[in-house]
Amino acid sequence: MNLVHILQGIGCIIEYAIPMRKKFDVFKMISSYYLCEVDTTTFEQNLDPYEAELGFRPVWVDIDTAIQTNETVLCSDSKRPPLWTAREVFMLEYIKERFLNTA
């Protein structure tokens, strides 16, 4: 997909953690979220090495499937989930409630 237009900001999550590198005092991650308009043009996948190692592949799923899949990863006993998983579940639930709730 290709970004056509940023419609509005949705929110920002700031996370702090213990850094993996000893020369730093703190790790700070700022994640900003936007409601955007996209076109349907697809492109060849170009992954970063860590994304390829994790087996990333683009797949369009509905928001409930995305939330459930991430929650399954969070509850898995097999290995520690990626740090961003809880953040993404939080934001997906917020987006669902704020922008997709038709009740």
Residue 25 backbone dihedrals phi, psi, to 5 degrees? -85, -35
pTM: 0.74
Could you tell me the residue ranges of all domains in the chain?
A: 2-100
Cβ-contact 18, 27 below 8 angstroms = yes
pLDDT tens-digit map of 36-71: 998 988 778 889 999 889 888 878 899 999 999 999
